[in-house]
Structure 1
Amino acid sequence: MIQDYESYDGIGLSELVAKKEVTPNELISSAIARIEELNPKLNAVIHKMYEDARMAVGKINLNAPFAGVPFLLKDISQAVQGEKLTQGSKLFQTYRAGQDSEYVVRMRKTGVVFLGHTNVPEFALMGITEPKFYGPTRNPWNTDYTPGGSSGGSATAVASGMVPIAGANDGGGSIRIPAAYCGLFGLKPTRGRTPVGPQYGRAWQGASVEHVLTKTVRDSACMLDLLKGPEKGGAFSVPNDRSSYLSQLDKALSKEVKIAFSVKSPLGTEVHPECRQAVVKTAKFLEELGFIVEEKEAPVDGIKLANSYFTMYFGEVAATLANAEEIIGRKVKMEDVEPTTWVLGMIGKVTNAGEFVLSMQEWDVAAYKMEMFHETYDFYMTPTTAFPPAKIGELDQSKMESFFIQLAGKLHLGKPLKKMGIVEQIAKKSLMRTPFTQLANLTGQPAMSVPLHLTADGLPCGVQFMAARGREDLLFQLAAMLEKSPIWIDLHKFMN
């Protein structure tokens, strides 16, 4: 067992291996011991690959950047050939992946060793990780609370010290929300920067991208260096950035940098005082350092964007269920999935092609407006979430809502639900706790959540920064500067 294993980041562990102070086998044993100790109460890891991990150790390239570093994959899209990939649903409880995802192919080359998959909400559809099939994942800061979602299992695994880095993806905030709730660093790359295939050129119409959750900025930057690059059949391209993101961490930001910030929800809904305070405190800190900081809202229609996001969301759920029928070889029934998933798919089936195209056009309008915005402002800062973490079960449907959803599903009331304006109601209620993160997904911009605030209850509260498309370098420079500052949350102190 490695002393203080949980205090190291990925690069730190790989340096121990390079110096021959520890062996990869010792790293894997330490990670497995920590998982076995903590997982019974946290429920972060739902599929274990310990035997394969021990076999893989003998095959790794000891010169790889993360040689021997323990790693957990997310139980959706990050497929390992022959291993289970359930997407948090009992519908896929017996499914095994036919091939590695491109993400996994590239991740193997970094030298990490896969120990298993982490918990997700069914089909990664929620901002909390409480699937009916596996049960809830709990926040290691306080196990009464959610770690967020959909990468909640990965966030809990990293924050609790099971592994220093874990796989994540982000289609509406699924890297940044759990990063905010668990005191981690979480960066969503520019659309097209990381692979989503094979056989898929886009995920969630380009809203969803792959990356990692980390304790340190340098781990995230180094991983993006290793993951970035075009893939066969990729639907999107970004400028080929030949520079290293890791090398950006030593570059000082110009004092001419301009930062816009807002604490107002783009939906016009409530923002908790702690989340507002996190941003105002950070704005003051940055201004004292000499940066130009101005209060300014993004030039987009938040309501229109939320509705366009949900048009895609409904369509993607319908497509997921249709694709599932090919995989399992039979019709999907209501009892195969959670009631909410079924109703979302039902609404997706009655959404027409014209509506879908119009929703995509809203994304392009917003992308253009944000590019213009970033000609003036280098960064746009907001709370990552509008509220601190909710308690486990707090966001469950009421008995009346549950009854209504069950009834709507059984009677196939997709069209009536749409005519009643249920789409707008669901959008506003679902996003009122997390209204800030979707913008970057729809415009394709990079965005990050940084751990800069603790609530009076001792729970992490993240601050989000967005930059223009392709400018992850700026985000990493800012994050590296903040990481050295007194307002950065020290996760190591929490774990000890």
Structure 2
Amino acid sequence: MSERAVAQGRRDFLKTGAALGGAAAVGLGGAMPGTAAAAAATALPLPDYEQWDATEIALRIHRGDVKPSEVLEAAIARAEAYAAINAVTVPHFDMAREAARALDGAAQAEREARPVLSGVPFALKDLGIALKGTVTTNGCAFFKDAVADHDSTLVQRYQAAGLNIFAKLASPEFGQTGTTESRLFGATRNPWDLERSSGGSSGGASAAVAAGVLPVAHASDGGGSIRIPASHCGLFGLKPSRGLIPMGPKSLEGWLGLSAHNVISRSVRDTALLMQLSQGAEAGARTLPPTSDLLAALEQAPRGLKIGLFQTNLFGAGVHAECLEASSKAATLCAGLGHHVEPIDLSALPFLEMAGSMGVVTASGMLYTVREREKAIGREAREDEFEPIDWQSLQKAKSYTAEQILKARSVFDRGGRVLDELFARYDLILSPTTAALPPKLGALSLDQPFEAFARNAVQASAFTSMFNMTGLPAMSVPLHWSAEGLPIGVQFAAPYGGEARLIALAAQLEKAAPWADRRPPRLG
């Protein structure tokens, strides 16, 4: 696929969205339920589609209640109607339509023999994952025509499960910030407030799921990039333990293990199902936590968990009162469910040293990716093809030494030891997901002076990044909304390989304080 074809595909998508979904897009921009714009949204195909999670869609397809092409068109129609959120970067609509039509005419016996998620619409994050024959831009102009020559291992598993991949969803350049804004594609907007960020770096996924385009979407997390957008958009997001979900085949660890793939979903059971189908080692992998029956965990309500409550921003930048209230309310809810919650101290964690080393690792990983692209196309990258902050990071990375990289991994491991010792006494750690409300667009952009960016960045990842650096699983659960109606997630972290414990608690919380019916008001 050429650069011209990618650009034309995006123009066609936006043009079609303006023509077919203009009324609904206006509704997204400001209309409330009951207005003409909200009524236009109800005219979209399969009116009940936005109430179904992926598990429900799969059941309906298997029973023959709906056809794969019908649910695909429902997803595409909403992507076009809600184009104002700017979640889709690379559409693969025709490819997906062809796949759906091939499934449409199946008899019942054939449908039942197919994979569990056969025909369910799905989208990939436009960062660090490959679908053969399609472009992954990484949110960067230098990669805007980078066509994959292979499928990522995770994509192979998604396709084996039957998912029909119809698009890629927005990410900031190289996932280097907690918002989803780029020079290449512009800003992705939060469906709860279009002037605010949907989070990052999986902000395209969170915006698409919150808007109802999809019930679940691929996401990845190198410092909070699943949990931050899940928190900002009122969704469920779980970063798995290092090594649980495959990263390959070309690189088996992202950013020395900081990064992990998974999904953002509305329902806990969708995340459990996608993880169940994608977990486990790939060829060459040497790091693998214990796998578990995550679907069984949905039905196993935990009892008497000992939970440590942590509410301190280790960057020293404070925590917004609403974020503190969210975590305190979650503690009260957990206590009401029979769990024991008490404050804990993490002063033994070498957090600031870890955070400094994280910058070395992420910049070095970005430099490696850029140099591989330079080799592939036979020319050097130019400054005008990058966001200013990322370009500065690339230049710094050229001076980093092997000793600094090894030191970074060593301090991460020291932090892991501190948390492992804590988990010998506690089953889970509860904290805010972020230290601030969803920020206004521009506050975390990579296209600004670094000093301004840094002041806001410490509010985004203060609670999330420690679990990337230590390789531990953590999830954001949508249990609180601010006085002005903004979603605020709370984070629970578990010992290495503790995904089943997280899923079990999340399912319990989902029943005790349901969130599925809480939708952005501007979407009706």
The TM-score with structure 2 as length reference comes to 0.86
Query: SS in structure 1 opposite 2:504?
Result: helix
Distance 1:372 1:470 in 2: 15
1:186-201 aligned within 5 A: 186-201=237-252
- Which has the larger displacement, 129-138 or 293-302? 293-302
Select which of 53, 66, 74 maps to 1:9.
53
Q: Is the 8 Å Cα contact of residues 53 and 267 (structure 2) preserved in structure 1?
A: yes
Distance 2:415 2:363 in 1: 20
1:69 aligned residue: 120
Distance 1:229 1:184 in 2: 25
2:171 aligned residue: 120
Select which of 503, 506, 509 maps to 1:479.
506
1:130 aligned residue: 181
Q: Is the 8 Å Cα contact of residues 388 and 461 (structure 1) preserved in structure 2?
A: yes
1:282-319 CA distances to partner (integer Å, 9 max, x unpaired)? Answer: 11121233211101133412211211211212222222
Q: Does 1:333 align with 2:382?
A: yes
Structure 1 segments of 4 or more deviating over 6 A?
425-428
Distance 1:286 1:329 in 2: 56
Q: Is the 8 Å Cα contact of residues 453 and 487 (structure 1) preserved in structure 2?
A: no
Residue type at the aligned position of 2:388: P
2:475 aligned residue: 448
- Which has the larger displacement, 203-212 or 59-68? 59-68
1:282 aligned residue: 330
1:13-41 CA distances to partner (integer Å, 9 max, x unpaired)? Answer: 111112211111110111111111112x1
Residue type at the aligned position of 1:291: H
Distance 1:426 1:140 in 2: 23
Pair 427,140 (structure 1): closer, same or farther in 2 beyond 3 Å:
closer
1:180-217 CA distances to partner (integer Å, 9 max, x unpaired)? Answer: 00000000111000111112121110111111110000
Q: Is the 8 Å Cα contact of residues 205 and 219 (structure 2) preserved in structure 1?
A: yes
Distance 1:7 1:488 in 2: 12
Structure 1: 5+ residue runs without aligned partners? 406-421
2:302 aligned residue: 253
Distance 2:403 2:486 in 1: 44
Residue type at the aligned position of 2:91: K
Distance 2:457 2:190 in 1: 20
Distance 1:135 1:492 in 2: 24
- TM-aligned CA deviation for residue 166 of structure 1: 0.7
Pair 307,225 (structure 1): closer, same or farther in 2 beyond 3 Å:
same
- TM-aligned CA deviation for residue 88 of structure 1: 0.6
Query: SS in structure 2 opposite 1:490?
Result: coil
- Which has the larger displacement, 461-470 or 317-326? 317-326
Query: SS in structure 2 opposite 1:85?
Result: coil
1:404-419 aligned within 5 A: none
1:77-156 aligned within 5 A: 77-156=128-207
Query: SS in structure 2 opposite 1:449?
Result: strand
Q: Is the 8 Å Cα contact of residues 209 and 265 (structure 2) preserved in structure 1?
A: yes
1:416 aligned residue: none
Residue type at the aligned position of 2:277: L
Q: Is the 8 Å Cα contact of residues 351 and 415 (structure 2) preserved in structure 1?
A: no
Distance 1:13 1:462 in 2: 26
Q: Is the 8 Å Cα contact of residues 151 and 168 (structure 1) preserved in structure 2?
A: yes
1:398-452 CA distances to partner (integer Å, 9 max, x unpaired)? Answer: 97x3xxx7xxxxxxxxxxxxxxxx9xx9767532332110111111111000001
Q: Is the 8 Å Cα contact of residues 388 and 446 (structure 2) preserved in structure 1?
A: no
Distance 2:520 2:87 in 1: 21
Q: Does 1:176 align with 2:224?
A: no
- TM-aligned CA deviation for residue 164 of structure 1: 1.0
Pair 80,306 (structure 1): closer, same or farther in 2 beyond 3 Å:
same
Distance 2:191 2:391 in 1: 31
Distance 2:417 2:503 in 1: 23
1:204-245 CA distances to partner (integer Å, 9 max, x unpaired)? Answer: 101111111100000000100000010112242223x2x420
Q: Is the 8 Å Cα contact of residues 318 and 348 (structure 1) preserved in structure 2?
A: yes
Distance 1:252 1:129 in 2: 35
Residue type at the aligned position of 1:438: S
1:13-72 CA distances to partner (integer Å, 9 max, x unpaired)? Answer: 111112211111110111111111112x11000111111001112455843221211111
Q: Does 1:319 align with 2:374?
A: no
Pair 214,59 (structure 1): closer, same or farther in 2 beyond 3 Å:
same
Pair 493,431 (structure 1): closer, same or farther in 2 beyond 3 Å:
closer
Q: Does 1:297 align with 2:297?
A: no
Pair 332,131 (structure 1): closer, same or farther in 2 beyond 3 Å:
same
1:411 aligned residue: none
Distance 2:384 2:461 in 1: 29
Query: SS in structure 2 opposite 1:322?
Result: helix
Q: Does 1:24 align with 2:68?
A: yes
Q: Is the 8 Å Cα contact of residues 199 and 233 (structure 1) preserved in structure 2?
A: no
Residue type at the aligned position of 1:33: A
Distance 1:95 1:486 in 2: 44
Task: State the Cα RMSD in Å.
Answer: 1.8
1:331-370 aligned within 5 A: 331-370=380-419
Pair 429,357 (structure 1): closer, same or farther in 2 beyond 3 Å:
farther
Distance 1:464 1:12 in 2: 27
Pair 488,359 (structure 1): closer, same or farther in 2 beyond 3 Å:
same
1:225-268 CA distances to partner (integer Å, 9 max, x unpaired)? Answer: 000010112242223x2x4201111112122x100011111212
1:35 aligned residue: 79
Q: Is the 8 Å Cα contact of residues 202 and 236 (structure 1) preserved in structure 2?
A: no
Q: Is the 8 Å Cα contact of residues 186 and 448 (structure 1) preserved in structure 2?
A: yes
Distance 2:462 2:368 in 1: 25
1:310-356 CA distances to partner (integer Å, 9 max, x unpaired)? Answer: 12122222222222211221011211211111100111111222122
2:90 aligned residue: 47
Distance 1:210 1:489 in 2: 23
How many residue pairs get aligned? The number is: 470
Select which of 267, 283, 295 maps to 2:315.
267
Query: SS in structure 2 opposite 1:115?
Result: strand
Residue type at the aligned position of 1:281: K
Distance 1:431 1:462 in 2: 17
Q: Does 1:231 align with 2:313?
A: no
- TM-aligned CA deviation for residue 487 of structure 1: 6.5
Distance 1:23 1:151 in 2: 29
Q: Is the 8 Å Cα contact of residues 451 and 489 (structure 1) preserved in structure 2?
A: no
Distance 2:453 2:177 in 1: 12
Residue type at the aligned position of 1:246: L
Percent identity over the alignment is: 37
Distance 1:186 1:396 in 2: 22
Residue type at the aligned position of 1:467: A
Distance 1:86 1:358 in 2: 31
Q: Is the 8 Å Cα contact of residues 232 and 489 (structure 2) preserved in structure 1?
A: yes
Query: SS in structure 1 opposite 2:467?
Result: helix
